[in-house]
Amino acid sequence: MPILHALDFVELSGYGDDGDGIRFLKDLDAEIEGRSVVLVDSVIDTGLTMNHLVRSLRLRQPGSLHVATLFERPYRRLVDDLPVRYVGFTIPDEFFVGYGFALEGRYRNLPDLRLVR
């Protein structure tokens, strides 16, 4: 990116079907008050985890907050007001492996995406 920026990471726990039980395993190291924040995720399906993160980070009063994702499945979304601003691809409701996505810990290292049938 040809602009001044910083990277930070969070890690959240999994969630139940209703979104309960989401918690921070690793929080941000940097303060975000007044800063422009773009949250990046690989896939957004229901949006429950990202919604929890967005609501939590908004309490820290960033200057702006948007979401970027490589893949999204908007037809599975359970959250109406998720600020997904940047989308690489909208993908069908099928399971993919490769390019970092795994099935039971395997196939993550494939150099491209492949549909699991």
Q: Residue 76 sits in a domain of what CATH number?
A: 3.40.50.2020
Q: Look-up: residue for tokens 């929080």? A: 27
Block means of pLDDT (10 residues each) for the chain, 117 residues, are: 89 69 91 96 92 95 96 91 93 88 92 90
- Residues known to be catalytic: 45
Give strand pairing partners of 73.
Answer: none
Nearest to 115 by CA among 9, 99, 88: 99
pLDDT at position 20 is: 65
Q: What is the residue range of 40's domain?
A: 11-115
Asked if residue 1 is part of any domain, the answer here is no
Cβ atoms of 27 and 8 closer than 8 Å: no
The total number of structural domains that make up the chain = 1
Question: Considering the entire predicted model, what is its pTM?
Answer: 0.84
Give strand pairing partners of 64.
Answer: 36
pLDDT at position 15 is: 60
Asked if residue 102 is part of any domain, the answer here is yes
Asked if residue 63 is part of any domain, the answer here is yes
Asked if residue 48 is part of any domain, the answer here is yes
Distance between first and last Cα of the chain: 37
What's at 85, amino acid-wise?
A: R
pLDDT at position 80 is: 87
Asked if residue 6 is part of any domain, the answer here is no
